[in-house]
Structure 1
Amino acid sequence: MTDTRKSPSLFVFLAVLLGFTLLMTLLSEGYGSGHLSTSFIKTLGKTLCLCLAALAMDLIWGYAGILSLGHMAFFAIGGYMIGMWLMYARTREIVEAALSQGGLPATPQELEQGIASQIFGVVGASDLPAIWGFAYSFPLQMALVVLVPGLLALVFGWLAFRSRVTGVYLSILTQAMTLALALYLFQNDSGLRGNNGLSGLQNLPGLTDVGQDKLSMWFFWASALALGLAYLLMTWIVSGKFGSVIRAIRDDEARVRFLGYSVEGYKLFVFTLTAVIIALAGALYYPQAGIINPAELAPTASIYLAVWVAIGGRGRLYGAVIGAAVVSLLSSWFTGGRAPSIPLGFGTLDWVNWWQVLLGLTFVLVTLFAPKGLGGLFDTLAGLRSPNRRGAPLGPDQGALQEREALK
């Protein structure tokens, strides 16, 4: 059986997350002293969602060895699914208030027509597409947050893994899937407002009297809770036999298949599970962002996800969280215009334009000289070392708590 007590990082992580959540609550505008602005709390909440996505990416890449460059597509799908309910329910309140001023109660047909015109008038349509058939129901849309990305990942993964597509070819396929989905959503007749996307998601239906200072804290708490539960789940998975098998698949897939394990089944389970977790992260992220559009599905977003995990240290759950948090917060600081420009005599170094170059350079340097990432620093401070295997084969991946040893 799985024993999470063998993973001391679990209790350290949960304690740090709890302490951080309590501290931010005490400093927030909604429930504390007001030292932290509502916009900053939203930034922290979104960062926790990105950490949750990185955690899932570490499971599939760092532990199972599957480099998916399309998982942020599931992140956006989760956002679209919850965004449909948020936009529909909020628009319904506005339309009902407007029609009630006429003196006579609106018919269901008038109400439906008014909602459709409000939402899709921007793309020249006046009818609700069929995919909005469950947008009136929060429970049904939450079910779709799980079912839509889960089924997409299940079908895609089954087709790819049964064909034994691996390595860079699988990465290209996942990126192609993301690009195709993004190009489709850019069309106005996709049923999701094309390039306009879904907006006004920060306004929760029925809670117009609750300020954003309190709503931001609610989402911050929900994001922290989701991250903590996901970390507990991931630790439970990788600490037992299942974790040993997927690490073996990462290091020597042919040998694991020869031993009689269903390699494709393990891969498919991890691929689908991580897709659902990332979709839930997206469902928490976009109400805090307030808007979602097809640009969120760009393949570069999934590349960023891999960069976060690599910088944090793949094969370490806490490393993925550290990498996502550090890079995300630095990105907000550099691209938000808060980083001072540096005069160079012949020109000015503007971080808004050069931040991505710095990020790319950091990724290259970490890959070449510090494959254990930022998480490796914590290993050193904590005195954690890889087990001495006395020259036994350790697999090709140096970034997953493995070491190079001389034959003895």
Structure 2
Amino acid sequence: MIFIACLALFTLTVSVLSEGFGVGLISTSFVKTLGKTLCLCLVALAMDVVWGYCGILSLGHMAFFGIGGYAIGMWLMYARTELIVIQSLAAAPLPPTAQEISQGIATQIFGVVGASEFPPIWAFAHSLPLQLAAVVLVPGLIALAFGWLAFRARVTGVYLSILTQAMTLALALYLFQNDSGLRGNNGLSGLQNLPGQGATPQSTISLWFLWASALALGLGYVFCAWMVSGKFGSVIRAIRDDEARVRFLGYSVEAYKLTVFTVTAIIAAIAGALYYPQAGIINPAEIAPIASIYLAVWVAIGGRGRLYGAVIGAAFVSLLSTWFTGGQAPDTNLGVYTIQWVNWWTVLLGLSFVVVTLLAPKGIGGLFDLIGKGRKP
């Protein structure tokens, strides 16, 4: 309840101070940054459940995040391009046929990669309900198939982490190809322009996505808290601590791990579906293995095994990264060398991960434990 109250207060404050509400103390671009940060907090929750509670160090959950973004991005790009094509053909002497409109849309979208026809993967791009279903079903089925094969073979530890990273790398390399059906390295762009909302300012649209992201994070937090509580939560924590003993007690370890892996993959995909319309573009570089490594770093810095720790870690690192890489952090002159934080931010992040791992394994969330102990009589 404390988390939900803080999230509600945060969302209300940002909304009132935003340009979309009229006060204008918070810019539209920063509202988008905050909305994207909430989405990253949601995927960090998923990572915390699968790693912090179940002990599966997945280095592939940002792949599911990207799949969710691609799924909703296909509909956004199709619907927006359809409006443009219909308007351009409206001046023709004869009304355009459905085939001409479809051909025009395909040419507009895939002309950049030298194609003019829709790949089979775009068969349902015209339907928002079907693409929303794809946000859930596609990553869920991929996670289910991958998890079933890996857990059935009892792959654990670092070997499982390498497998998830290999899966992510394979997906990214495939998407870089122009014949993947998703425009290769160009990715999907213009996602911030909602179809039929051309007259709506971005300041208002950014608020809509902020509210949607906050709602998703709140519901995701409640769901994850329910998931890690009770018998189910006790079993997955036991699997994390001593998998062999849990199996000896008669529990189906593989079924529990598969459930956690699949459910968290779906949560990550939902976060991605909300993130990329705010980012405006998605390309294969977003699914590169380094993104999943960053996700693990966020959770470790925030404190794995604590849902609020994952949220704190993701929000803290994300906002700090925006500050450093956005050129807002002043260069530090050491006399013989000037540190430009745009280039050195990743080094600082890596060092922070090492320090937290060695000296503060409970992360930032561990501070709340100390505060709680200090209040006890």
TM-score grouping bracket, smaller chain normalisation:
over 0.9
Are 2:31 and 1:41 equivalent residues in the alignment? yes
The one-character-per-residue Cα deviations of 1:183-233 (angstroms, maximum 9, x if unpaired) are 000000000000000000000001111110000000000000000000000
Tell me, in whole angstroms, the C-alpha distance in 2 between the residues paired with 1:271 and 1:384: 36
What residue number does 1:67 align with?
A: 57
Answer yes or no: is 1:92 the counterpart of 2:82: yes
Separation in 1, partners of 2:374, 2:217:
24
User: 1:214 is matched by which residue type in structure 2?
Assistant: T
For the 8 Å contact 1:25–1:32, the answer to whether it is kept is no
* 193-202 or 372-381: bigger deviation: 372-381
Could you tell me how far 1:106 is from its partner in structure 2?
0.6
State the Cα distance separating 1:12 from its structure 2 match: 0.6
Matches of 1:384 and 1:98 in 2, distance apart? 68
The structural deviation recorded for 1:346 is 1.4
Residue correspondence of structure 1 range 4-403 to structure 2 within 5 A: 11-383=1-373
List gaps (5 residues or longer) in structure 2. Answer: none
Letter in structure 1 aligned against 2:103: Q
**Equivalent residues of 1:248, 1:256 under 8 A apart:** yes
Local SS of the residue matching 1:92:
helix
Distance 2:279 2:216 in 1: 17
How big is the alpha-carbon RMSD for the aligned residues of Structure 1 and Structure 2? Answer: 1.1
Give the TM-score normalised by structure 1.
0.91
**CA drift at 1:383:** 2.7
CA distance, structure 1, for counterparts of residue 73 and residue 252 of structure 2: 37
Distance 1:90 1:332 in 2: 29
Percent of aligned pairs with the same residue? 76
Task: Evaluate the alpha carbon distance shift between residue 385 and residue 293 of structure 1 in structure 2; reply closer, same or farther with a 3 A threshold.
Answer: farther
Instruction: Report if the CA contact (8 A) 1:77-1:145 is conserved.
Output: yes
- TM-score, normalised by the number of residues in structure 2: 0.99
User: 1:239 & 1:359 partners in 2: Cα distance?
Assistant: 32
- Taking the aligned partners of 2:226 and 2:339, their CA distance within structure 1 comes to 46
Report the counterpart of residue 4 of structure 1 in structure 2: none
Shift in Å, 1:382: 2.7
Q: Which runs of 5+ in 1 are unaligned?
A: 1-10, 387-408
What SS is found at the alignment partner of 1:102?
A: coil
CA distance in 2, matches of 1:253, 1:385: 35
Equivalent residue of 2:364, what SS?
helix
Deviation >2 Å, runs of 4+:
382-386
Residue-pair matches, total: 376
1:102 Cα deviation from its structure 2 partner: 1.2
Secondary structure in 2 aligned to 1:383? helix
Using the TM superposition, give the Cα deviation of residue 384 of structure 1 relative to its aligned residue in structure 2, in angstroms. Answer: 7.7
Post-superposition CA distance 1:129-176 (Å, at most 9, x none): 010000000000000000100000000000000000000000000000
How many Å separate the matches in 1 of 2:115 and 2:228? 49
8 A Cα contact 1:379 1:385, kept in partner: no
Distance 2:337 2:319 in 1: 27
Distance 1:43 1:101 in 2: 40
C-alpha offsets along residues 52-88 of structure 1, whole Å, 9 cap, x if unaligned?
0000000000000000001100000000000000000
Structure 1 residues 384 and 301, CA, compared in 2 at 3 Å: closer, same or farther?
farther
| Distance in 2 of aligned mates of 1:144 and 1:384 | 48
The equivalent residue for 1:394 is none
Q: Structure 2: how far apart are the matches of 1:36 and 1:382?
A: 34
Distance 1:120 1:187 in 2: 13
Which deviates more from structure 2 when the two are superposed, residues 84-93 or residues 232-241?
232-241
User: How far did 1:345 drift?
Assistant: 1.4
In the alignment, residue 66 of structure 1 is paired with which amino acid? I
